[in-house]
A and B are shown apart, each in its own frame.
Chain A
Amino acid sequence: MAEISKEQVKHVANLARLEFDDEAVEQMANELSAIIEYAEQLNELDTENVKPTTHVLDLKNVMRKDEPKKWITQEEALKNAPDQKDGQIRVPSILE
């Protein structure tokens, strides 16, 4: 399964909220196929009884007290927003 089709690229692009023109879809299909083909060398290894490593340190869930504290003001939160109105971030319409 090293070949990634153009349809798969379009499907994955949709999941990743990206879009590509036809030429880029083809190039992406070729590049991803090459990388995945390379990655399939991992199948040479028997990992049947190997535990996956998600994290190298011996840490379990780390909890802290959920205490309210002052973080940023509304004004600050809006400082870097691309568009705003009446003290809120404005986005294009969600409903058609």
Chain B
Amino acid sequence: MSLFDYTIKELEAKLHNLEITVEELVKESYEQIKEVDGDVHAFLTLDEEKALEKARELDKREDKSGILFGIPAGIKDNIVTKGLRTTCASQFLDNFTDPLYNATVVDKLEAENPVAVGKLNMDEFAMGSSNENSGYEPTRNPWNTDHVPGGSSGGSAAAVAAGEVLFSLGSDTGGSIRQPAAFCGVVGMKPTYGRVSRFGLVAFASSLDQIGPLTRTVEDNARVMEVIAGHDKMDSTSADVDVPAYTEALTGDVKGLKIAVPKEYLAEGVSEEVKNSVMEALKVYESLGATWEEVSLPHSKYALATYYLLSSSEASANLARFDGVRYGVRSEKAENMLDMFVKSRSEGFGDEVKRRIMLGTFALSSGYYDAYYKKAQKVRTLIKNNFDKILEEYDVIVGPTTPTPAFKVGEKTSDPLTMYVNDILTIPVNLAGVPGISIPCGFSEEGLPIGLQIIGNYFDESTVYRAAHAFEQATEHHKKRPQLGGAK
């Protein structure tokens, strides 16, 4: 049995009681990385020397009582880490080895003393659903390396599934935490917009991006959320709302919980295997005393178009900062200043990033702004209203996280729209800004994980966690490990 088969809470107790040392735990993390990461490619940058140094320092401390104390963790590579290379999986930032500050979430973690073992692979600048847009060797799914791990937080999900770290941080703009969590059979939470500070998260689409944790269990996830959530004066869009103790919500009791199931989430395009797993999950909820009813999110079918217009527009503005002047890789072919911008950007960005910058620049350009960008903002209001109305009556919304289990590497790379459709069940949640989690709820015939999505009301992550935890504890799906996930 691997130390990584214990929950974070159990490991905290073992460290506290001196049954194990932080050094042992961190070494186990690197051993597993050496064992499997040649196949999984979850990590872009490792920091073994510094991590072991920190582990030994923590082992010497009298007080080992902190939440997450000594727990090995990975950080998605679009979250800035002081002195630790941060590339966003882009060749443009290949040489960005010495960032000057920590993202707020990293500072908040460091205050509790988990041990960061390295930075995690992703789709370049978080644009993608399969990690195939990484500027480096793409991450593979630990359950079957012929399949993608999902994206854009594919490295974050795969590293947890493969037992390389106990938890990771990801970011979710249109499903980038939940979709890879579903594909890799782990728990991934996208908090309410504004719940977690975005300061130091390299911005993709500022009105949609949120940072959240990926873990093996719901309890682990709630523990990490307690640490990273909260208002931050460095992020003017972070909300000044009290953070409850999420772990206290994990009562196992969902009697009387009112669940809404949108018929659009079980419609055409969602595979039979996925539908069946969700229906089975609803039976579990019934047996636990919850009730469910079918509802409608009538504007869901417009979410994808809305999302691509808005997120690409915001991205085209956010990515204007990458110009080869102050950091990043500068083109050596440029003859003057303007040429340097153009050549550095054209050589540095990958194809998907360029496509989205182009789409966004077009949608914001003179003559098209009202027809595309503003129109999409108005449809966003309609989508948000759909959610508001249902969440007035129900505690949570439940459906699949993705239409199918993880697809094969190369299966969807030829046509951008085919790839985009994969996010159709997660995108509306970002547009509305509400919290959503993906938890394992079954396996396909091929043995690939299937994810259940639970969506809650604004700032009510507690109810989402309570519902997720009750289901998890009543089932065994979360106990299954991939072949590359360490022995169980």
Contact = CB atoms under 8 A, between A and B. Distances in A.
Interface of A: 1, 4, 8-9, 11-13, 15-20, 28, 31-32, 34-36, 38-45, 47, 50-57, 59, 62, 64, 72, 76-77, 79-83, 89, 91-94, 96
Nearest to A1: B371
A39 B305 CA distance: 5
Given A8-B362, A12-B362, A13-B358, A89 B337 contact: no
Contacts of B416: 31, 34-35
Given A15-B365, A39-B376, 12 more contacts: A1-B371, A17-B342, A19-B343, A20-B346, A41-B302, A43-B375, A47-B381, A47-B382, A51-B381, A56-B207, A80-B96, A92-B337
7 contacts: A4-B362, A17-B341, A36-B362, A40-B305, A41-B301, A64-B236, A72-B101
Contact of B305 (A4, A41, A51): A41
A80 B98 contact: yes
For chain A, what secondary structure do more than half of its interface residues adopt (helix, strand, loop), or is it mixed? loop
A52 B365 contact: no
Given A16-B361, A89-B325, A89-B326, A56 B433 contact: yes
A92 B374 CA distance: 38
A17 B237 contact: no
A35 B345 contact: no
B330 A83 contact: yes
Given A16-B357, A35-B308, A50-B381, A82 B376 contact: no
Interface of B: 95-101, 193-194, 207, 233, 236-237, 239, 299, 301-302, 304-306, 308-309, 316, 320, 323-330, 334-343, 345-346, 349, 354-355, 357-359, 361-362, 365, 371-372, 374-382, 384, 416-417, 432-433
Contacts, number: 165
B337 A91 contact: yes
B374 A52 contact: yes
B31 to A, nearest CB: 32
B233 A56 contact: no
A57 B433 contact: yes
A82 B327 contact: yes
A80 B83 CA distance: 11
B100 A72 contact: yes
Nearest to B233: A64
Contacts of B323: 17
A47 B378 contact: yes
Given A57-B194, A57-B237, A80-B98, A42 B379 contact: yes
A64 to B, nearest CB: 6
A80 B97 contact: yes
A62 B361 contact: no
B431 to A, nearest CB: 8
B320 to A, nearest CB: 8
